[in-house]
Structure 1
């Protein structure tokens, strides 16, 4: 999976967002070493604290399907809903929030990977490793758990 294809998958996923309150659509796409891609979109709730981020939805889908590790890349974009509900990225890149960084880290550590994270903005693509976004992360390895 190359960067553009993964960003395209995240963009398509953003159209499936349920964001009636913020109207801010986010799409995420996760690429795995076996070539599979899992996408997610944000899901808001009238009780705001119960909202789910796109990255968390994608990780939950992957884990529910039995995927434990092998995460090699993540693509994320967010913005106001445009035509067809697709997010229109603004000037600043939307990176995974703190909670999503932790959730992504859990999946990555289970496979011993440090995935690249691509965040699309109107200005281009921000590229960072997950370990740069979440330095000194706590995860399964801290509890003596490897693999899954």
Structure 2
């Protein structure tokens, strides 16, 4: 199914920088062109000024010329399923559609899949993107 997306998220998690929380997270995005963009959480000592794995993956997508998210995979080393935090839900919604798939993964693969509108049913809408 989306094994390549899971593997990209898992590989990104292995490159996280989480010396304070010791909570590695990886995320991977498949954009509307089918390209995969991965990211890991990166912490700084001035908590909460670091950035989440989803935020890193979104920035890689944007910098590579992507604009729309087709699906996302998220994995955390210390949780069976780790949904995106509230801020990342809104960040994802900015670049996603209501039916964008969000895959929650564990060490073995995808365990649960939600649609973006299930993950964040009342996302802010600016009307500027669409």
TM-score higher than 0.5: yes
* 1:139 correspondence with 2:120: no
* Alignment correspondent of 1:115: 100
- Answer yes or no: is the 8 Å Cα contact 1:72–1:113 preserved in 2: no
Kindly indicate whether the alpha-carbon contact (under 8 Å) linking 1:73 and 1:116 is maintained by their aligned counterparts in 2: yes
| Structure exhibiting the larger radius of gyration computed from Cα positions | 1
* Contact preservation (8 Å) 2:31, 2:61: no
- Structure 2 counterpart of 1:49: 48
Aligned twin of 1:128: 114
- From 90, 98, 118, give the equivalent of 1:102: 90
The aligned counterpart of 1:6 is 5
- TM-score (norm. length: structure 1): 0.80
Deviation sequence 1:59-113 (CA, Å, 0-9, x none): 11212233222x1110000024xxxxxxxxx4x30010000000000011xxx46
1:93 aligns with 2:78: no
In structure 2, the residue matched to 1:60 is 59
The match for 1:76 among 74, 77, 84 is 74
Structure-2 separation of matches of 1:77 and 1:122: 8
Q: CA deviation at 1:117?
A: 0.5
Which ranges in structure 2 are unaligned for 5 or more consecutive residues?
none
More helix by share: 1
Query: What residue ranges of structure 1 are gaps of 5+ in the alignment?
Result: 81-89
1:122, distance to aligned residue in structure 2 (A): 5.8
Is the CA contact (8 Å cut-off) linking 1:7 and 1:29 kept in structure 2? yes
Q: Report the Cα offset of residue 139 of structure 1.
A: 2.6
CA–CA distance in 2 between the matches of 1:10 and 1:146? 26
